[in-house]
Structure 1
């Protein structure tokens, strides 16, 4: 598991109480019941954990877990 995937899984399970089984690469953030406020909080939490800027647009409702992980991995040195 990449650092980005680990961070995303940790934030989703701890902060938003999403079940680990629900966090699949093809799952959209909307399907995980994250509203716009939760998406903003998610972007901020990931930014803090990973030390890379995360725009709210990257953590949008239509984003998939796999797509967000790929975007985060591309930003890490």
Structure 2
């Protein structure tokens, strides 16, 4: 099993600890809506990830239809760019 990236770890940690989502359902193909995150929870998720990763999370990046893999990929690119500075 490969090690998780910092972004993947942060996302999994926030979903499982802050929103008490079962880690077994946090799969790459799961949408944020399928994880029972409503619009308020999506805003909280974005804020929590911004604080943990130090990168801006746009509202359009964390929508009901966004998958865990999609959000991870989007934030990983920003995180890598920020880390390179």
Same fold (TM over 0.5): yes
Structure 2: distance between partners of 1:29 and 1:58: 11
Residues matched between the structures, number: 77
C-alpha RMSD of the superposition: 0.5
Query: What are structure 2's unaligned runs of at least 5 residues?
Result: none
Structure 1: distance between partners of 2:38 and 2:76: 24
Q: Spell out structure 1 runs of 4+ moving beyond 3 A.
A: none
Larger RCO (alpha carbons 8 Å, 6+ apart): 1
1:9, distance to aligned residue in structure 2 (A): 0.3
Alignment match, 1:61: 64
Max radius of gyration: which structure?
A: 2
Structure 2: distance between partners of 1:5 and 1:39: 17
Query: What are structure 1's unaligned runs of at least 5 residues?
Result: none
Q: Quick check: 1:42 aligned with 2:41?
A: no
